Amino acid sequence: MKTVMVTGATSGIGKACALAFAKAGYRVIITGRRAGLLQELSDWIRGECGPDRVYTLVFDVCDRKGAEEAVSGLPEEWKMIDVLVNNAGLALGLDKEYEGDYQDWDTMIDTNIKGLLTMTRTIVPGMVERNHGHVINIGSVAGDAAYANGNVYCATKAAVKSITDGLRIDVAHTALRVTLVKPGLVETNFSKVRFHGDEKRADNVYKGIKPLTGEDIAEVVVYAAQSPAHVQIAEILVLATHQANGSVIVRE
């Protein structure tokens, strides 16, 4: 039975990926900052898929030492990770660059870029040693081109694309596969977090269009992971039907 680690599994795309992999027969290591939400997810997987199918690690990917200690503390039977889904990430604020909040910038850079690098540096050496593994990074359509007031968030997701492409080059001599999944408009807690809890403003993001769901993206992630060993799905862009790119959205 293969083992997958999903970061940022407390909600949204991460939670949907954890559930989808569990249903597909994988053992799932779920990670995140909010212990209560991880416990709820763990309880569901244990109840539906079996008590030996989930392991919980509570840490923040921004805390490099904490992340490394959590992973090194895994029981031996959980240490051979076949798939790493680097999902943990967020957007904060929607301000012009010259009016942006320094703390929002730091949090996005520390989570979206440094956190992803920390998990990659922590997990991938074992994959290379075993000559087996798959890294799936959750990027964004925002990484393809900047949109109005998205400046720093777009920059972090552009970095995710470059980091993913670079890793694919670095492991090309091995049997490892590296995939970038770039969602468009997905209705999760994403906008609520971006607007610091302003639910009305967050709801307006999805008005007039049927957005993607976390489950839609999870289906794509599992598809990439289950492709034949000689098939490497390098990059997938997933958009809502009435979304053309990061900034062109046709609403009713």
Tell me the pairing of strands 27-32 and 3-6.
parallel
Predicted confidence at residue 147, as pLDDT, reads: 94
The residue type at 132:
H
Rg (CA), the chain: 17
Predicted confidence at residue 78, as pLDDT, reads: 97
Q: Which helix (H) or strand (E) is 39 found in, with range?
A: helix 35-49
Distance (Å, whole) CA 104 – CA 210 = 28
Among 55, 98, 153, 223, the one annotated catalytic = 153
Predicted confidence at residue 202, as pLDDT, reads: 82
Q: Compute mean pLDDT per 10 residues along the chain, 252 residues long, and list them.
A: 97 97 98 96 95 96 97 96 97 96 98 98 98 98 96 98 98 98 93 84 90 97 98 98 95 92
Beta strands in 59-174 (DSSP E): 83-86, 134-138
Instruction: Establish whether 147 is a catalytic residue.
Output: no
Contact 203, 169 (CB under 8 A): no
Residue with tokens 């992630």: 221
Q: For 142, what's the count of Cα atoms within 13 Å in the CB-facing half-sphere?
A: 23
The full length of the chain comes to 252
Local structure of residue 237 (DSSP, 8 states): E
Distance (Å, whole) CA 138 – CA 216 = 13
Residue with tokens 């552009």: 158
- Torsional sign, CA 88, 91, 97, 102: negative
The predicted model scores a pTM of 0.96
How far is residue 67 CA from its own chain's centroid? 16
Query: Does residue 228 come out as left (phi exceeding 0), alpha (psi in the -120 to 50 range) or beta?
Result: beta
Contact 112, 33 (CB under 8 A): no
Distance (Å, whole) CA 114 – CA 35 = 22
- Taken in order of first residue, the domains within the chain and their CATH numbers are 3-238 (3.40.50.720)
Structure tokens at 50: 């079996």
Predicted confidence at residue 220, as pLDDT, reads: 98
- Torsional sign, CA 62, 109, 195, 140: negative
Predicted confidence at residue 197, as pLDDT, reads: 84
Beta strands in 87-219 (DSSP E): 134-138, 177-183
